[in-house]
Amino acid sequence: MENAPLASRSIWIWVAVLVPLVGLSVMFARSLDRRGDDVTIAGAPYDVEGAEVAHVWVTTPVFGKPGQTETRELPREPGDGTGGPVTRVRLPFVGVVSVEVKRNDNTESWHEVVVRPVSDLVCASVLLLVIAILLPYALRGGRGAWYALLSEATGGYSLSRVQLLIWFLPAAVLYGALSFTFRRFVDIGPQLAVLLGLSGATTLLGTAASPSQPATPVAPVTADLQDLVNDWSSHPDVSRYQCLLLSLVGSIVMVAAFWRNLEMPTIPTAVIYLIAGSQGTYIATKAVKAGKTASDGRMATNLGPDGTSVPVGTPVVTGAPASATPAPVGTGGAAGSFAPSKG
């Protein structure tokens, strides 16, 4: 009976996870009636052709006049695609539109494009975020799921794990929402991939640089956000603070850049160097402190008579050497022993 409340709570958490999944399924089913050669979002950059495009026209229905259409030329902008330079346009219309492309050699091509509203991208982002937040609770089946993911083995929040979450969670949610809306895997810049890889490497190296667990069990450390800027000695560490602050600022700018251009942002190379230096400084400081702690621990102990470690300065008590004085012949010892006399 003790597990009944826990099982009930786990069921409700799974229900909360399934509701956003149902919402994503409904969004996908509603979009099946509008099909075209490609899908984009209103106002997002759309790659039409290569760099040799001369003109791009779009034909759209006239609002309030059924059966009538109008054609207008769209401003072009350069871009980088997977195959090289491309020409981009932004379609500020919702619905199925016809895009006509005229190249420099006077050849033409047409595309039927389904333009989805930005609200679809917003809804997909919110639903994926809810799933990402609730999924650890569903897998663990109770409270403390996020603390278990973000804490050290001995307790307390881990900065390396938190900074990985700060970078990875928004990037994964936005990439998933954009890919879901486009119905395909969208391109991701190498800089962003390198940034996420750096955060993962920092988590791995930060775990390796942490002090080893003590041989004797200790009481678990309670959750405290100060763990993010304090080391394991509860001393504030500026290397941890600068790593945390730079991760927060960088993640916020990344999210803002995404919603401004409606595409996965390109991280400048200088920012990659700055973040790599910040995370490297944090790892190096942690490794030096861990090595010093281990060295101080070895110097502060010596071996007692039974082979166990005792702090330096503790008096070591040893037993007196065993000695035996033979009793006189024919007399009894003080402990009640008796030596027979020669008769």
Q: How far is CA 73 from its chain centroid?
A: 43
CATH for 63: 2.60.40
Phi-psi region of 43 (alpha: psi -120 to 50; beta: other; left: phi over 0): left
Phi-psi region of 339 (alpha: psi -120 to 50; beta: other; left: phi over 0): beta
Q: Which residues of the chain have pLDDT under 50?
A: 1-2, 4, 303, 312-313, 316, 320, 322, 333-339, 341-343
Q: How far is CA 45 from CA 12, 72, 90, 338, in A?
A: 40, 17, 5, 108
**Token pair belonging to 250:** 């960088």
Considering the domain architecture, whether residues 78 and 124 belong to the same structural domain is answered as no
Give residue 338's pLDDT. 47
Of 116, 146, 170, which residue sits at a domain end? 116
- Domain membership of residue 101 (yes or no) is yes
Give residue 329's pLDDT. 55
Helices (H), 262-310: 269-299
Tens digits of residue pLDDT in 234-262 = 788 899 999 999 999 999 999 999 999 99
**Token pair belonging to 23:** 């919402």
Tens digits of residue pLDDT in 136-189 = 888 876 677 888 888 877 778 888 899 999 999 999 999 999 999 998 898 888
- Domain membership of residue 327 (yes or no) is no
What range does the domain containing 105 cover?
43-116
d(CA 250, CA 257): 10
Considering the domain architecture, whether residues 87 and 154 belong to the same structural domain is answered as no
Tell me the pTM: 0.76
Angle subtended at Cα 240 by Cα 236 and Cα 244, rounded to the nearest 5 degrees: 125
Considering the domain architecture, whether residues 96 and 232 belong to the same structural domain is answered as no
Give residue 1's pLDDT. 45
